Each structure stands twice: as C-alpha cells, then as structure tokens.
Amino acid sequence: MPHLRDIAIGAKSRIASKDVQVILVPYYDGLSIEKMLEFAKGIDAVMKALPDLKREILRLPREYIANVIYTLVGEKFKEWVTARIEARNSYLAEKN
C-alpha cells in the first residue's frame, strides 16, 4: 500500500478523525468520483491527502473521497455540490 507508506514518511498528509467533516453527496452523474476529483485536482491539500495512483483512489469509498474534499475545502465544495444538485433538479423539472 504505497499511500500508507507515503503517510508514514511524511510525503502525504492524514486527517484526524475528529477533524473530518461529513457531507452527503447524492449519486448523480454530475457528482461522480471523477467529477469530484476534477473539482479538487488543483487543490494541493486534497491531492496530498489522497493516494497518487488513480486505481488506488477509485478503490476508496465514494463517501471517503467526498468527506476528504469537504474537510479540506469546506463551503466551496459544498456550494459546488449544491449547484450540481440544483442543475439536475432543474433539468428534471423542465423535462417533465
């Protein structure tokens, strides 16, 4: 597990469980793991808290990824999630 080794040597950061902020992200197309990672790709703190290898990241629970991003980014990520939820709801309302 390269990520655990990276944490042990200080190349990656960890988040104490007491500091984790929880966010519920629905399973919508615009809120996939890939889309969340696109949002976070330029944020060094998030990238330092996640494994380097995409295959390792994709093995992590979706909720874990969302909570890491929310813990480190805060309201900006929550607003991004809310905007995608509202866009989807508007689309469905117009469609029906």
Identify the domain containing residue 70 by its residue range: 2-95
pTM of the full structure: 0.86
**78: Cβ contacts below 8 Å, ≥ 6 apart:** 23, 70
Number of domains in the chain: 1
Give the pLDDT of the chain (96 residues) as one tens digit per residue. Answer: 566 666 666 667 888 899 999 999 999 989 999 999 999 998 999 999 998 878 888 899 999 999 999 999 999 999 999 999 999 999 989 887
How many other CB atoms are there within 10 angstroms of residue 27's CB atom? Answer: 7
DSSP 31: G
CB-based contact 2:46 (threshold 8 Å):
no
Q: Report the alpha-carbon distance of residue 11 to residue 79 in Å, rounded.
A: 30
